[in-house]
Amino acid sequence: MKPMGPIPPYFAGQGELTIGGKSAAKWVAEAGSPLFVYDMGIVRERLARLRAALPDACEIHFAIKANPLPEFLAAVAPLVGGLDVASGGELARALKVKDAAHISFAGPGKRDAELEAAIAAGATLNLESEDEAERALAIGQQLGAAPKLAVRVNPDFELRGSGMKMGGRASPFGVDAARVPGLVRRLIDRGADWRGFHIFAGSQSLDTAAIIETQAATVALAARLAEEAGAEPPLVNLGGGFGIPYFSGDTPVDIDAVGAALGETLAVRPAVLAKAGFAIELGRWIAGECGVYLMRVIDRKTSGEETFLICDGGLHHQLAASGNFGTVVRRNYPVAVAGKMGLEPAETVSIVGPLCTPLDRLADRVALPHAEPGDVIAVFLAGAYGASASPAAFLGHGPAVEIVACS
């Protein structure tokens, strides 16, 4: 038997699993399986809690890459101060639900057409290189518009404990800190509407102390770069990096502690940042826990000493849960038999999908109550980097149904 991660507290009840006020069985009966259900009540609750914890000077942005479903974006956009996008495709989706003044576009290798779309719409470009800056300035000139340009900084430190380190090393992301002040001066001199800094040191960290320390270092770096550039940034995007507990032993980030520490940091910030606004950009933390992936058991079989529940959902919809996306060691996401929440485990089973590959294993030898064909299996933490980050076309089973439940 192998451990699994903790079931999010929103769902850890008894009996029937309920999502957005409706039982998992009812969702499946109505919409078929496999399907994702996203409970916006959970998103609202988390954002309200985070808003209360953060200092007023800091707004919350949603990184839509975590869940770009149009219905999800429509529901989350009014709840956050800004949307961050990472491609022309995401920009188009964001513009349908948010004013361009509150949209910023980061990501390496932006094509000219993407730069043009952002400048024409009035969204902010987070510049990833000096070459990209030149291209954006040239396109702004062609369009007769002062482009809104922020500089993404490759910081000279990293977020400790983060699943994906994005600072403290050579990187395709952002401009190395030492070259940033010169670039900012050039942008201003050439008539751009300089919007400030975007500094992202890592993601998926559960280490509260490391997040606090990184945020303080990020504010200090922004102040230093602004002083060297001789210019006051309108906005400092502090990045995100708040993880969520996926695996056994994981515990959530202490949001209150982070917010209090950031408040203290901002209270004594250098004069060059006195008028700056701040933003925290989160994807996974906002969207991850609200989503549940529901599958039906199609077959139950024993091979050798192992029992398998073979389900109609798999890695084509939930690649990360199979351990094949950005993880080195495969560990179990939390899963449950949806009709038997809170019951004592009765057996050890492996949960696999219908793909004809050994990679398609969503839970490896977990202890669960007994399940039979027809029963619904829930895979939690499916709200971020699930459907959109999985190979939906692989093996021809088709895309998943996705439902936003506005409870």
Q: Least distance (Å) from a second copy to the CB of residue 128?
A: 7
Q: Least distance (Å) from a second copy to the CB of residue 192?
A: 18
Beta strand 306-311 with 291-303 is: antiparallel
Partners of 126 in the β-ladder: 150
Question: Applying CB under 8 A, which part among 40-48, 49-57, 247-255, 311-319 lies near a second copy?
Answer: 311-319
Q: Least distance (Å) from a second copy to the CB of residue 70?
A: 11
Locate 273 and state its tokens: 């940042």
Under the criterion CB under 8 A, does residue 98 sit at the interface with a second copy? no
Is residue 212 a contact partner of residue 292, using CB atoms and an 8 Å limit?
A: no
Is residue 212 a contact partner of residue 261, using CB atoms and an 8 Å limit?
A: yes
Size of the site for a second copy (CB under 8 A): 71
Among 111, 141, 249, 264, binds a second copy (CB under 8 A): 111
In degrees rounded to 5, what are phi and psi of residue 337? -80, 115
Under the criterion CB under 8 A, does residue 113 sit at the interface with a second copy? no
283-300 burial, b for 16+ CB within 10 Å, e for fewer?
bbbbbbbbbbbbbbbeeb
Q: Is the peptide bond before 34 cis (omega within 30 degrees of 0)?
A: yes
Of 228, 234, 220, which is closest to residue 270 (Cα–Cα)? 220
Question: Applying CB under 8 A, which part among 139-147, 215-223, 333-341, 389-397 lies near a second copy?
Answer: 389-397
Locate 335 and state its tokens: 């899963």
Which residues, in sequence order, are CB contacts of 396 under 8 Å at separation 6+?
none
Q: In whole angstroms, give the CA distance from residue 18 to residue 405.
A: 11
Among 324, 331, 343, 348, binds a second copy (CB under 8 A): 324
Residues 144-173 that bind a second copy (CB under 8 A): 154, 164-166, 169-173
Q: In whole angstroms, give the CA distance from residue 34 to residue 18.
A: 16
Residues 326-345 that bind a second copy (CB under 8 A): 326, 328
Under the criterion CB under 8 A, does residue 305 sit at the interface with a second copy? yes
Among 39, 59, 90, 375, binds a second copy (CB under 8 A): 90
Q: Least distance (Å) from a second copy to the CB of residue 300?
A: 7
Which stretch of DSSP H or E encloses residue 76? helix 70-76
Question: Applying CB under 8 A, which part among 235-243, 258-266, 336-344, 352-360 lies near a second copy?
Answer: 352-360
Under the criterion CB under 8 A, does residue 217 sit at the interface with a second copy? no
Is the Cβ of residue 129 or residue 208 nearer to a second copy in the bound state? 129
Residues 252-281 that bind a second copy (CB under 8 A): none
Q: Least distance (Å) from a second copy to the CB of residue 261?
A: 26
Q: Least distance (Å) from a second copy to the CB of residue 304?
A: 3
Q: Give the CA angle between residues 56, 183, 152 to the nearest 5°.
A: 45
Under the criterion CB under 8 A, does residue 397 sit at the interface with a second copy? yes
Under the criterion CB under 8 A, does residue 32 sit at the interface with a second copy? no
Locate 289 and state its tokens: 């826990």
Among 139, 153, 341, 355, binds a second copy (CB under 8 A): 355
